[in-house]
Every structure is written in structure tokens, then in C-alpha cells.
Amino acid sequence: MTTILDQLRAMTVVVADTGEVEAVKAHAPVDCTTNPSLVLGALKDPASEDLVAREIEAGQKAGLSPAAVCDALTVAVGTELAALVPGRVSTEVDACLSFDTDASVTRARNIIADYDARGVNKDRILIKLASTWEGIRAAEVLQGEGIDCNLTLLFSLAQAVACADAGAFLISPFVGRITDWYKKAENVETYTPDEDPGVKSVRRIYSYYKANAIDTVVMGASFRSTEQIKALAGCDRLTIAPKLLDQLDSETGTLPRVLSPDSAGEIARIEMDEKTFRWDMNSDAMATEKLAEGIRNFDADHKKLIALIADRMA
């Protein structure tokens, strides 16, 4: 009997939520997605030691700052991953730029230029941006230049609607982090898959997109359990950590398809402008808090990464 992971792959594009080379080799995903936390893991991964040493040495010879070496290392890791997967590698714009549209666009262009210099075409890369109003506007500019974007730290339908209106290639709604917030707020230890707030959020976004013929890809992310993953079987894409991929690969049985464009029904298109976006986010305590927390945490990991590189350079 085929495994749950094999069945999932038959209906959903599976993405590896890791920057570790050996994990990607083991699971052979279509795409990879990274963020500062995952690049930190790659920095500590023995399989990436030669790459890290090479980038640090090159940066020292060129007189680069630790921050500039960090930027180069991130793209170097992405370049190595691009050689292992047939699809896309997501690479994140610095979280500290999440409220600066122009700086985010400039940083994204530099990332693409660095990849190009390493022989990786822009059609193999997704630029990751936080789903702030400013990040979404940056994505709109970049999409107009043919640079596809992955809008991350997405917790609400308001964010999803704005991303779709901006023509974003892909969104990453964070299932587990939504569930974490509601568990604490409602003092609940666990939810059934159908009642899980994170699962319900992605299902709602998926249905809205399909009902309105929106091309933006929905990629569920930040899973806490295989049950959450199975409850979204049929979603366009799912980015899954290696530990959960292992669990899915060791489990057999029948995996029913839950999401399908044909079952979306009719849902009215929502009109979204900046005022409405900011009000809807302000009205949603979970989305506001988790977005802010996610930006802070990504920025903290980015600073840790720079500090580790500075130590190595010293």
C-alpha cells in the first residue's frame, strides 16, 4: 500500500520546509522554502560546512561586512538547493524591511541579481516577503517585473485578498501558528482537524481563491501535526518540515482529498484597499499579534545569523 506522503503528492505539490541539504536529498521535494531560522540550521549543518567556509572566505577577501556575507550565504544555500529540486527556492527579504516597500523591492532585486550571477535564473526563485501592506505593495512591483513572490506570515483572509489583488504568485498561510494562538486564547489543548482554527483559515482562503478564479497559489505552512496536513490534502502546495515528512512517509492507509477547486462553491469577491486592510487586521487580534511576532522572530534570527558569521570572520 502506498504511503500517506505518496498519496498526498498525487494531489498536492509537496515543498520541504528546510534549508538543510541532506533533508532535501532525502525527501526529494518539488520546491524548497527557507527563512532566516532555516538558514541558521544550514549554518550548523555539517553537510553545508564547505559552502559556509567558502562564502566566508570569499567575503573576507572582498572586504565585505558580516551582514553582506550573510546575504551572500543565504543565496549560496539557495543556489545549492536549486540544484537539488526541480522547482522553486524561496528566499526571504530581510524582516527589518517589512514596512519599507522601496527597500524591500531593492533588496529583492539584489537577491535576484546574486542568483543570476551564480547561474540561477529568476524563474527558479520566489522572493519571500512578509504580508504587511508594504510587503504586498513590494510584491506588486516585483510581479510587474516578472519576479515571482511568496507572501509569508499570512494569518488572515484580509491579507490573502490583498495578496491576490497584487498578483502575488504564492501565499503561505501559517496553519500551526494560528492554532497556537487560539489554543492559548481559548485555553484548549487540542482541536479535531475540522475544528482546527489554522486548518479552517486555509480552507477559507483556498475556497475564496478558487471561487473567484484567482491564480495565486495557496501553500499551507507551519504545521504542528500530520493531522493538520491531512486535513488540507488537495491544497495547491504544502510546505512541510522533515520530521513531519518522515511521519507521513511511514504511515499507510487511505488519504481522502479534502480540498478541490470543484467544491469551492460561490463566494463574493471582496473589495480591499489600504484602509480596509488595516482596519481588518486591527480587528483581528490573532493576525495582528502573529504577524508582528513573526517579523520580530525572523529579524532576531537574521541578527543571530549575522553574529555567527561575524564570529567566524573574526
Q: For 190-238, what is each residue's pLDDT tens digit?
A: 999 999 999 999 999 999 999 999 999 999 999 999 999 999 999 999 9
CATH of the domain at 169: 3.20.20.70
From the list 122, 128, 200, 290, the catalytic residue is 128
Q: How many domains does the chain have?
A: 1
So what's the pLDDT on residue 275? 98
Angle subtended by helix axes 36-43 and 66-82, to nearest 10: 90
Positions in the chain short of pLDDT 50: none
CB 195 within 8 A of CB 161: no
Which pLDDT score, from 0 to 100, does residue 77 have? 87
Domain around 238: 4-313
Please state whether beta strands 237-240 and 13-16 pair in parallel, antiparallel, or not at all (unpaired): parallel
Residue 303 catalytic?
no
Q: What is the pLDDT of residue 23?
A: 81
Report pLDDT for 28. Answer: 83
> Contact, 238 vs 127, CB < 8 A?
no
pLDDT for the residue 314: 86
Distances (CA, A) of 105 to 55, 135, 144, 262: 24, 9, 11, 36
Which among 169, 129, 116 is positioned nearest to 146, based on CA atoms? 169
Q: What is the CA radius of gyration of the chain?
A: 19
pTM: 0.94
Decide: 237 and 252 in contact? Cβ < 8 Å.
no
